[in-house]
A and B are shown apart, each in its own frame.
Chain A
Amino acid sequence: MFKFPEIVEIPLAQGIDKIMDWLLVYLDGFFDFIGMIILKVVMAFENLFLFLPWFVIILLVGLAGWKLIRSLKTGILFMILMLIIGTFGYWELSMRTLALVISSVVFALLIGLPMGIQMARSDRTERILKPILDGMQTMPSFVYLIPALMFFGMGKVPAMFATIIYAVPPVIRLTNVGIRTVDVEAVEAAKAFGATPRQILFDVQLPLAKPSIMVGINQTTMMALAMVVIGSMIGAKGLGMEVLLAISRIEVGRGFEAGISIVFLAIIIDRITHSFSESREKDSK
């Protein structure tokens, strides 16, 4: 057997560690600031979800199913799923998980939409971002936990930081694709009438790219849910933590209940965000 010669080893790992050290020293205040904002937002959602009585939330979810997906059956199904989560005793944890997911998605969109728009506007930006996004999407999700831990320590904030980074690629990608595939003539028409780039963006490109962008938001949300569960490894309280505990204590039943609750949440979130991407039929008089 030939052993790979150690002399030719490229010190990438050390290099990255050095950069991390540098960032930690010089950008400490910056990360504190970011962490504070992230925490404020997630706490606001968490407090809201825990403040509202469970039956109000169940009703709201049912209503969302009925009105957005336009099927009373789906609304009732959603309510049953939420009730089951409650009977498992996971109501509070699922609300915390939901708060983590929603606030992560909010941040991911704040970052991802403008980046997607920029990417659509400039071929150069697209050339640079595309391989990075490809890389990010194939990178094992755990890897994001390490820098998050180093910047923010344990808790909700690093979990969300990792979630945001992990979940942002689809919305960037699909915003870009959506805008780039908008009917050329519609854009040219706006240009021909003397529209400014801003008018073109808001009057033509974004509305016509909406279905694609919504698919991106749906994917980002689902990835955020998956990552929030993993984020419990670094101390984000929620359903993921229950699964983790069940694994370490080898309690199959408990793990199964927590797992099922995650699946139910996923179904509800998926169906609701998916409904946005289906373009409404235009009613005509």
Chain B
Amino acid sequence: MADKPNDVQIIIKNLWKVYGKDPKRVFQKGLQDKTKEEIQNETGCVVGMRDINLEIRKGEFYILMGLSGSGKSTLIRALIRLIKSTKGSITINGDDITRMNADQLMKFRRKTFGMVFQHYGLLPHLTVLDNAAYGLKVRGVSKEVRYAKAREVLETVGLKGWEDYYPTNLSGGMQQRVGLARALANDPEILLMDEPFSGLDPLIRRQMQDELVELQSKLQKTIIFVTHDLHEALKLGDQIAIMRNGEVVQVGTPEDIVTQPADDYVQEFVQDASPAKVLTAGSIMSEVPVITYVWEGPKTALTLMRREKKKIGYVVDQKQRFLGVITAKELERLLSGEERFKTIPTSSIEVVDTVTEDVLIEDLFSIAPKNPYPIPVVDEKNKLLGRITNDHIFESISNNEGGSDV
């Protein structure tokens, strides 16, 4: 996304993983161009990843998505070398993790990674506090310091007061919060999450997703997140890599993936994804036809409005901040009255709901009917950027190429 720094943090080049005995055979025999089935029939080896090339930027929320067995776990585990890749390189912050010796690897893991597991991977004989502090304990951090830090992260994930309980006393969602706290306590640069929410109830799951989004907006970590749930991917991801049979078939933003699927496999994946869930207000808005400056006289404003053949103007102040809407009718009333106005009186400005650029179209559905006028789009400083008409909304969801200006 636009506001993210552009430096690439993880570079994956020609990465292969072949499971089985003596996997290098596959390359020696020159079988690398055969299909997964052919290789399996000839050598008994299973291709887990095939020639993967990816670049992941610092601070990016990167999703790995694909059907079961497509190699998502293999890839994310290869990044931290829980699985040793067969061929290729993984360069993280300039170091190739596939070439490290055991000692270097241990140190690298300590300072770089935090990982969250599908089934939490907590230690049942330790309290929540000790679990959250475990990564720090491994690093040899003193008890006081690590407990202080663990308490802090437990509070961040909403588990204050649960420090002295054991994991078995907690619900699944809460256990995963402990898993997340444990990963965050190390303050890792890169957070790896392998289907962290897939074991949770839909409601808890959505809640955890929301909280993760909020957390990430504060932390700005690099997150690699595995899921096979499209909606989760679209909601969380800055970038999505779609995998099939150990290969990456498409990489793109949620919008790219939904609006321009690379092939039938991806198409099938995204077919039930409504563009309303990925397209944002910013991508479908158009320019505001009539901007009325609050210091203008009613007459000027009305003239401009008539010239554009519009019935309303969007009122802004000196700093382009949006104040509200004024109608042609109201201006006519002002002009016909006794009183003479030098500028537009505040009482004539109609306050309406606004949205920010990143609001999903899905969420416009509830706002649009309440608004008698096209919805104004503003930035976080309330500066007017554009507006969205009902036509915009309908067109964006009925047309996959959607979002062009209207």
Q: Which of B110, B118, B122, B165 contacts A193 (CB 8 A)?
A: B110
User: A183 near B: Cβ within 8 Å?
Assistant: yes
Task: Tell me whether B106 and A196 are in contact (CB under 8 A).
Answer: yes
Task: Tell me whether B169 and A284 are in contact (CB under 8 A).
Answer: yes
Q: Hey, which chain B residues are within 8 Å of A191, CB to CB? A: 82, 109
User: B340 near A: Cβ within 8 Å?
Assistant: no
User: A127 near B: Cβ within 8 Å?
Assistant: no
Q: Hey, which chain A residues are within 8 Å of B169, CB to CB? A: 282, 284
Task: Tell me whether A189 and B107 are in contact (CB under 8 A).
Answer: no
Task: Tell me whether A192 and B123 are in contact (CB under 8 A).
Answer: no
User: B61 near A: Cβ within 8 Å?
Assistant: no
* Complex interface bits, A200-233 against B, C-beta within 8 A gives 1, otherwise 0: 0001100110100000000000000000000000
* Complex interface bits, A57-88 against B, C-beta within 8 A gives 1, otherwise 0: 00000000000000000000000000000000
Of B132-140, B209-217, B284-292, the one with at least 4 CB within 8 A of chain A:
B132-140
Tell me whether A186 and B121 are in contact in the complex, defined as CB-CB below 8 angstroms, given that A192-B109, A284-B165, A284-B169 are known contacts.
yes
Specify the chain A residue showing the minimal Cβ separation from B112. A194
Q: Hey, which chain B residues are within 8 Å of A210, CB to CB? A: 125
* Complex interface bits, B135-177 against A, C-beta within 8 A gives 1, otherwise 0: 1011100000000000000000000000011101100000000
A189 to B135 Cα, complex, angstroms: 9
User: A185 near B: Cβ within 8 Å?
Assistant: yes
Q: Hey, which chain A residues are within 8 Å of B179, CB to CB? A: 189
User: A199 near B: Cβ within 8 Å?
Assistant: yes
Task: Tell me whether A195 and B138 are in contact (CB under 8 A).
Answer: yes
* Complex interface bits, B339-379 against A, C-beta within 8 A gives 1, otherwise 0: 00000000000000000000000000000000000000000
| Majority DSSP secondary structure for residues of A touching B | helix
User: A188 near B: Cβ within 8 Å?
Assistant: yes
Task: Tell me whether A186 and B109 are in contact (CB under 8 A).
Answer: no
Number of A-B contacts (CB under 8 A): 80
Tell me whether A194 and B123 are in contact in the complex, defined as CB-CB below 8 angstroms, given that A185-B117, A189-B115, A285-B165 are known contacts.
no
Specify the chain A residue showing the minimal Cβ separation from B120. A185
Task: Tell me whether B123 and A204 are in contact (CB under 8 A).
Answer: yes
User: A190 near B: Cβ within 8 Å?
Assistant: yes
User: B113 near A: Cβ within 8 Å?
Assistant: yes
Task: Tell me whether A285 and B164 are in contact (CB under 8 A).
Answer: yes
Within the complex, what minimum Cβ distance (angstroms) separates B321 from chain A?
Answer: 48
Q: Hey, which chain A residues are within 8 Å of B186, CB to CB? A: 193
Task: Tell me whether A186 and B123 are in contact (CB under 8 A).
Answer: yes
Tell me whether A207 and B110 are in contact in the complex, defined as CB-CB below 8 angstroms, given that A185-B118, A282-B166 are known contacts.
no
Query: Within A262-285, which residues are at the interface with B (CB < 8 Å)?
Result: 282, 284-285
Q: Hey, which chain B residues are within 8 Å of A196, CB to CB? A: 106
A203 to B139 Cα, complex, angstroms: 13
Most buried by B among A192, A196, A199: A192
Q: Hey, which chain B residues are within 8 Å of A208, CB to CB? A: 123-125
Query: Within A145-175, which residues are at the interface with B (CB < 8 Å)?
Result: none
Task: Tell me whether A192 and B82 are in contact (CB under 8 A).
Answer: yes
A124 to B214 Cα, complex, angstroms: 49
A192 to B115 Cα, complex, angstroms: 7
Tell me whether A192 and B165 are in contact in the complex, defined as CB-CB below 8 angstroms, given that A186-B122, A199-B138 are known contacts.
no
A167 to B115 Cα, complex, angstroms: 42
Q: Hey, which chain A residues are within 8 Å of B82, CB to CB? A: 188, 191-192
Specify the chain B residue showing the minimal Cβ separation from A195. B138
A242 to B166 Cα, complex, angstroms: 51
Within the complex, what minimum Cβ distance (angstroms) separates B329 from chain A?
Answer: 65
Within the complex, what minimum Cβ distance (angstroms) separates A277 from chain B?
Answer: 14
Task: Tell me whether B106 and A194 are in contact (CB under 8 A).
Answer: yes
Tell me whether A190 and B138 are in contact in the complex, defined as CB-CB below 8 angstroms, given that A185-B117, A185-B118 are known contacts.
yes
Task: Tell me whether B109 and A194 are in contact (CB under 8 A).
Answer: yes
User: B80 near A: Cβ within 8 Å?
Assistant: yes
Q: Hey, which chain B residues are within 8 Å of A194, CB to CB? A: 106-111, 113, 135, 138-139
Task: Tell me whether B135 and A188 are in contact (CB under 8 A).
Answer: no
Within the complex, what minimum Cβ distance (angstroms) separates B275 from chain A?
Answer: 37
Specify the chain B residue showing the minimal Cβ separation from A186. B121
User: B231 near A: Cβ within 8 Å?
Assistant: no
Task: Tell me whether B123 and A193 are in contact (CB under 8 A).
Answer: no
A185 to B23 Cα, complex, angstroms: 25
Specify the chain A residue showing the minimal Cβ separation from B136. A193
Q: Hey, which chain A residues are within 8 Å of B87, CB to CB? A: none
Within the complex, what minimum Cβ distance (angstroms) separates B54 from chain A?
Answer: 20
User: B119 near A: Cβ within 8 Å?
Assistant: yes
> Interface of B with A (CB < 8 Å)?
80, 82, 106-111, 113-115, 117-125, 134-135, 137-139, 164-166, 168-169, 179, 182, 186, 192
Having A193-B110, A210-B125, one finds 15 other A-B pairs with CB under 8 Å, namely A186-B123, A188-B115, A189-B134, A189-B179, A191-B82, A192-B114, A192-B192, A193-B115, A194-B108, A194-B139, A195-B106, A199-B138, A203-B123, A203-B138, A282-B166
- Listed by A's residue number, 7 A-B pairs whose Cβ atoms lie within 8 Å are A185-B119, A185-B120, A189-B117, A203-B123, A207-B123, A282-B168, A284-B164
Give the 3 A-B CB pairs with smallest separation, nearest first. Answer: A194-B110, A185-B121, A189-B121
> Interface of A with B (CB < 8 Å)?
183, 185-186, 188-196, 199, 203-204, 207-208, 210, 282, 284-285
